[in-house]
Structure 1
Amino acid sequence: MDNKSIIKKLKLTIQLMELHEENPFKIRSYQSAVNTIDRGEISLVELDQDELQKINGIGKSIAEVIRSLIKSGTFPLLEELLSNTPEGLLEVMQLKGLGPKKIKTLWKELGITSTHELMEACQSGQVAGLKGFGQKTQDTIIAALEFQASNVGKFLYAEIEETSAGLDKLLKERFGENNVVQVGEYARNHEIISDLEWLIISEDRPATHKQINSIEGLVQNRKLSSPYTWVGQLTSPEITLRFRLCTENALVSEFLIRTSSPEHLNLPITDTETMAHLYRKKPYSSPQEAYEEAGMQYIPTELREGYFEVEAAKENKLPKLVENGDLKGILHNHSSYSDGKHSLREMAEQCRDLGYEYLGISDHSQTAVYAGGLDVAKIERQHQEIDELNKELAPFKIFKGIESDILGDGSLDYPDEVLAKFDFIVSSIHSVLNMDTKKATARLLKAIQNPYTTILGHPTGRLLLRRDGYPIDHKTIIDACAKYNVAIEINANPWRLDLDWRWVHYALTQNVKIAINPDSHDKNTYNHMHYGVLVGRKGGLSKDMTLNALNKEEMEAYFENRKSKIKQ
C-alpha cells in the first residue's frame, strides 16, 4: 500500500457512501482526507496512528482507516459497503457521466446490477422512461458503454511500461540477451497497447514452450497457440502476450515484419515489390541492411505505420527525430496558484534541477473556477513572485504564461490588456465538450485567430481510454495555426497525448511548430515529457520543428517577436 493505493481505496469508499446515501458530513471528511493525502509529500506507510492524526484533514477515525488499509488493504466500513453492493454495479460506477443518484435509481427501479443489464435496459428504452433521465441521457449511457467495451483489455503505454520492461528483462535472463527482442505495437510506441509481443530465438520449440509455461503469472491459451507462437495472458495486469519463436537466421526479417503495421508492409517500393517483400527477401545481418538493399534511408521502428515514411525514405528526406535531450524547457505547467500541487518555487527548482533552462508557468484562467483559476489580482501576485524568483534563480528563467480557457464562442477569457501582460498564452478548451465537428472547429479557429494565442493546448480534449475527444477538422485547424503562427501542443500527459501523432506530420508539412508539454500539476510529473517525445517521434518530429527545443535566449526572442507584431 502506497499513498496512491490508499487514495484509490478511499475514493471507492466515497463513491459507495454516496451510492448508499451515507451521512454527508462523513463523506466530506473522507474527501478532505483524500485531498490532504493527494497534496501531501509524506509517505503514509511510514507513519503511526498518532503521526497520522497530526496531519491537518486526517482525524482519529480516518487515521484508523489508513492504518487498517496499510495492514490489510481494507477496513470494516469498505467491506460493509461492498457487501451491500452487487459486484457488477462497481463496473457501472466506472462509467463517465453517471453519478451515484442516477446509479441508485437504475439499481432500485430497474434492478440493474451490471453493465450488460444496463445496455439491455437502454436498448429497450427503459432508461429513457425513468424520471430525470430521458432519451439524451440514455444515448449518452449507450455511447459510454460502447466506449468502455471497446477498450477492455487495453492499456495506456505509460500504464504498461513497467510491466513490459520487467517481462523483457525476465525473458532475456531466461533465454539470453541476444535471443529475445520486443516487437509489436509496444515496440512502435503506440499510445494504447492491447498486447505485448516478443520474438524468441528457438531451435527446440517444445522446450521453449515449456520454459515459457514455467514463468509465474503467465497463463497460456492453448487454442490460440501454435508450435511457432505462444499466446496467453498475464494474470496481473490482464494483458495479452505473444511469444513468436524463430530461428537465428530469420530473426532480422521477423523483427522487421513484426515491428511494422499492415499498412506499412503493403506500401510499394517498386512496381512489383512491397515493404513486406523486401523484409522477406533474404536473411539480413541487421535491419539497416534491408534498407540498404532497397537504396532507402533506414526507417526507425516507431515510423513503420504506413503514412509518409516509405516515400520520405526513398527520397532520403526522413528527419533526425527529436530526442529527450533536445528539449530545453517546458511551457505548460500548473502551480498551487491554481490547481497544482506544488508552489511556484518548487515547480521552478525541480525544473531547473532536471537540467532545463526555463519553465513556462501557465496556471488556469479565471473561468476555471473549479481549478482555482487566476483573477487579475492573483495574476499580479504571481507575476511579482516570478520577477523575484527570476532574480534569484538566474540564469534559469520562469516565463509568465496562462492556460486561457477558450469560451463557448471561441474568445479567450481575459480582455486584451490582461493577455498582454503574459509572455505567452496556451489556449485550451475545458468546458462544453459535447460539440459536433463544425462547432468545435469554429470555436478553435476563433481562438487561433486571437493574436495573443501562442500555443493551442490539447486540441481535441481527449482522455485516452476514458473519453473520446470532441471531433475537429484537423486540416483546417492546422492550416489556421500555420497562417497565424500558432504552435500546437503535444500534451504529454499519458491520458492525453494530444495532438495525436497521426496529425503531427501534416502539421510539419505546413511549417507549424510543435510544443511538447507535460501539463504538470505537480513537480513529479515532468517525466511525462518522455511520452510526448515518443508521440512526436511517431509523427516524424525533428528538433528544428519543436518549439521548446529553443534555448532560453531563443525562446525569449520568439515570445518578444510575436508580441511586437501584436502591438503593430
Structure 2
Amino acid sequence: MAVHNGEIAAIFEEMADLLEIEGANPFRVRAYRFAARTIRDLPGEVAEMVARGEDLTSLPGIGDDLAGKILEIIRTGTVAALEAQRSKTPATLTELLRIPGLGPKRVQALVCALNLRGLSDLQQAALEGRIRTLPGFGEKTEQHILEALAARTGKESRMQLAVAMPSAEALVAYLNQCPGVGRVVVAGSYRRARETIGDLDILVTANTGRAITDRFIRYPEVREVLAHGETKASVRLQNHLQVDVRVVPDESYGAALLYFTGSKHHNVVLRQLAQERGFKLNEYGVFRGAVRVAGDTEESVYAAVGLPWIPPELRENRGEFDAAKAGRLPTLVELQDLVGDLHAHTTATDGRHGLKEMADAARRRGLRYLAITDHSRRLTMARGLNPARLSAQMDEIDRLNRDLTDIRLLKGIEVDILEDGSLDLPDDVLGRLDLVVGAVHSRFNLSKQKQTDRILKAMDHPHFSILAHPSGRLIGRREPYDVDMLRIIRKARERGCFLEVNAHPERLDLTDLHCQIAREEGVLLAVNSDAHSTGDLDDRRYGIGQARRGWLQKSDVLNTRSYAEVTRLLRRTMET
C-alpha cells in the first residue's frame, strides 16, 4: 500500500490538534505542525525517499522521532502514537475538530463551557443562542457553526484538489502500463480545476475493457471494490477517495471526455443546443438518428453545435456559451506565462529556506524575479520582522542581487493589517521596500462593515501594493471573513493597487468568481505561491487553475509582466 505525503501530513496535523486540546507542550505541537507542512510541500513522495534508503532526518524539522513515525506510517498506514492519543481524547472533541473554523482551542472552550457530548449538542447550543454568549465567540461565529453543521450533513465529503492529485497521477501511471491502453485522462471536477473534488473520474480508451478494469481493481491502494464490469469499475482507495474508471472506444473519446468532465449545468445546455440542431448528444457521441456525426474529439462535439472548443475550467454555465457564440472566449493564462512570484517567505520568519536557496529554486523554475515578503512583527508565532531585522534583510537582498544572474529578488514584506486598518510597520521602513503585501491575520470575526472598512483603510495607505489572500479562508478549515469583496475590488481599481490569487492549495484565494469580477473591473491580479519553502513554488499550478476558472488571461495577471514592467507598476503603488 503506497502512502502519499498528504496522508502523512494529515496524521501529523491530527496529532497536533489532539495534543493542543490536551494542553501539551506548545513546542511539541508546533513540531508536528511544522513536520506536516514540510511533508505536504515536498516535491517528491516521502515513501520513494524511504525506498531509496534516504535519510529522512535531512528534511527540515524532521528528527529521529518524527522520522521513525513516518516510517511506521509508510509501513502500516497509521502510527501507534496517534491511536493512543485518540483513545485518550473524548470522541466529542474529535468530532468537533472536523467543523471548519473550530480549532483545538475553541473546541476545548466549547466543551468545557457547554458540556458538549457531540455534534447534536453543539447544534442545539447554537440554535438556543448559547454560543454567542461565550467569550471570544459572538453571534457571527455561532451562525458560522450552524452553517458548517448544515453543510456537513447536507453535502458529500470533498477532498482538496492538491490532496487528490498524487492519487490521480499515480493511477494514471498505473493504468498506462496496461497493454492495449490508448489514452488515460482524469475528467470530472479534477479536470475543471475545482478547488475540491468529490471523486475521481478516469477515462481510458482501449478496444477491450475487461483487462483494464481487472487491472484497475488490483491497484495496491484499493480498499474496497464498489463495482466491476466490462467497461466500468469503481473502487474506494485507502484514503477514502472514490475512483471510477470508464473504458471507451476511440470514436467516443471526445464525447465521453466532455460528458464526464462536466459540469452538469454545462452539459445540460450543450445537449439542448444539440437538440435544437436535430442531434442527440450523449457520452457515446453526437448522433443524427442512428448515424454518429461527431464524438472522437471534444472539438468535434462543440463544432457540431456551432461552437468553438471551450476550456474545461470555464464549463460552469457562467457565460461561456454566450462568449463562445460571440467569439469572445478568453485565451486563458498558463503556468509558463508567470515570469515572477510576488509573495514568498524565508528562514527569517517561518520559511524553511534562505534567500539564496529561494532565489536559485525560482530561477530553476524559469522565474525572472521573486519577491521576499516575510511576515511583520505582529505575527509573533512566525517570528515576524521588526524594523531593524527588516532593514538588515533589505541590505542582505541588495548584496545578493549583485551576485545573482538571470533572476532578481524584490524587497518586500507581508505586513499585518491591524484592526483599525493601520499597517504593522512604520512608513519610513515601508517606503524603502519594492512592494508591501498587506494581509489580515487576526480578528476574522469583525462585522462585514468593520472588516471591509479595515481593509479599505489599509489599501489607502501610500505604500500598499497587494492585498494577500483577500478573503482569509482556509478551505475546509476556516470560512472566509465577512467582507464586501466588490468594494475591495473597486478600491483596488481606484487606488491602482493589486489583489492576490494565493496559490496555496488550502487557500486558493481569491475565489474563481471574484477573479472574474476583478477581471471585469479591470483590476490586475498577482498569482503568487506564498511559498514557505523551495518546493512550495510549485503550488503556482494550483493558482493558475484558479485563475483560469476566473477567466483570467495573461494580460490580467500582474506577474506575467517583465521585471522592468512589474517594478514600474509596483513603484507606482508605493508613490501614490
Q: TM-score range by the shorter chain?
A: 0.7 to 0.9
1:186 equivalent in alignment to 2:197? no
Unaligned runs of 5+ in 1: none
* Aligned counterpart in structure 2 of residue 289 of structure 1, from 287, 300, 312: 300
* Aligned counterpart in structure 1 of residue 496 of structure 2, from 480, 485, 488: 485
* AA matched with 1:390: N
Give the equivalent residue in structure 2 for 1:466: 477
Q: 1:526 offset after TM fit, Å? A: 0.5
* Aligned counterpart in structure 1 of residue 252 of structure 2, from 230, 250, 253: 250
Alpha-carbon separation, structure 2, partners of 1:202 and 1:404? 55
* AA matched with 2:193: N
Q: 1:190 offset after TM fit, Å? A: 0.9
- Residues 528 and 365 from structure 1, CA distance in 2 versus in 1: closer, same or farther, beyond 3 angstroms? same
> TM-score normalized by structure 2?
0.80
Residue 177 of structure 1 aligns to a residue whose secondary structure is coil
Alpha-carbon separation, structure 2, partners of 1:562 and 1:56? 36
1:438 equivalent in alignment to 2:449? yes
Q: 1:99 offset after TM fit, Å? A: 3.5
Native 8 Å contact 2:261 2:312 kept in 1: yes
- Residues 248 and 151 from structure 1, CA distance in 2 versus in 1: closer, same or farther, beyond 3 angstroms? same
Residue 168 of structure 2 aligns to a residue whose secondary structure is helix
Native 8 Å contact 1:347 1:523 kept in 2: yes
Give the equivalent residue in structure 2 for 1:412: 423
* Aligned counterpart in structure 1 of residue 337 of structure 2, from 309, 326, 333: 326
CA deviations over 1:61-93 (Å, ceiling 9, x no partner): x95686476457788766654444455643334
* Aligned counterpart in structure 2 of residue 499 of structure 1, from 506, 510, 515: 510
CA deviations over 1:150-202 (Å, ceiling 9, x no partner): 67631111100010112223334337432644321111111101111133457
Give the equivalent residue in structure 1 for 2:290: none
Give the equivalent residue in structure 2 for 1:219: 224
Alpha-carbon separation, structure 2, partners of 1:551 and 1:498? 24
Q: Which has the larger displacement, 269-278 or 256-265?
A: 269-278
Matching of residues 33-52 of structure 1 within 5 Å: 34=32
Q: Which has the larger displacement, 411-420 or 487-496?
A: 411-420
Alpha-carbon separation, structure 2, partners of 1:35 and 1:270? 51
Give the equivalent residue in structure 2 for 1:165: 169
Give the equivalent residue in structure 2 for 1:397: 408
Give the equivalent residue in structure 2 for 1:30: 28
- Residues 81 and 339 from structure 1, CA distance in 2 versus in 1: closer, same or farther, beyond 3 angstroms? closer
CA deviations over 1:466-509 (Å, ceiling 9, x no partner): 12111333332222222222221110000000111122222222
* AA matched with 1:122: A
Q: Which has the larger displacement, 391-400 or 407-416?
A: 407-416
Alpha-carbon separation, structure 2, partners of 1:206 and 1:53? 45
Give the equivalent residue in structure 2 for 1:122: 125
Native 8 Å contact 1:153 1:238 kept in 2: no
1:556 equivalent in alignment to 2:559? no
Q: 1:464 offset after TM fit, Å? A: 0.7
Pair member with larger Rg: 1
Q: Which has the larger displacement, 331-340 or 166-175?
A: 166-175
Give the equivalent residue in structure 1 for 2:199: 195
Alpha-carbon separation, structure 2, partners of 1:260 and 1:40? 34
Alpha-carbon separation, structure 1, partners of 2:125 and 2:356? 51
CA deviations over 1:106-152 (Å, ceiling 9, x no partner): 3899472x54x544663686975999799867666545544555676
Identity of aligned residues (%): 28
Residue 401 of structure 1 aligns to a residue whose secondary structure is strand
* Aligned counterpart in structure 2 of residue 156 of structure 1, from 150, 155, 160: 160
Native 8 Å contact 2:437 2:467 kept in 1: yes
CA deviations over 1:32-65 (Å, ceiling 9, x no partner): 754886799999998xxxx99999999xxx9568
- Residues 194 and 57 from structure 1, CA distance in 2 versus in 1: closer, same or farther, beyond 3 angstroms? closer
* AA matched with 2:458: A
- Give the number of equivalent residue pairs: 549
> TM-score normalized by structure 1?
0.81
CA deviations over 1:247-297 (Å, ceiling 9, x no partner): 544332232222231332344897974999677454333222233344433
Matching of residues 88-127 of structure 1 within 5 Å: 89-95=93-99, 96-99=101-104, 103=108, 106=111, 110=115, 112=117, 114-115=118-119, 118-119=121-122, 122=125
Give the equivalent residue in structure 2 for 1:259: 261
Q: Which has the larger displacement, 177-186 or 505-514?
A: 177-186
Q: 1:408 offset after TM fit, Å? A: 1.8
Unaligned runs of 5+ in 2: 288-292
Matching of residues 531-542 of structure 1 within 5 Å: 531-542=542-553
- Residues 374 and 177 from structure 1, CA distance in 2 versus in 1: closer, same or farther, beyond 3 angstroms? same
Alpha-carbon separation, structure 2, partners of 1:347 and 1:237? 32
- Residues 93 and 355 from structure 1, CA distance in 2 versus in 1: closer, same or farther, beyond 3 angstroms? same
Alpha-carbon separation, structure 2, partners of 1:394 and 1:504? 34
Alpha-carbon separation, structure 2, partners of 1:276 and 1:483? 49
Native 8 Å contact 1:296 1:315 kept in 2: no
* AA matched with 1:467: R
Alpha-carbon separation, structure 2, partners of 1:349 and 1:188? 32
CA RMSD of aligned residues (A): 4.2
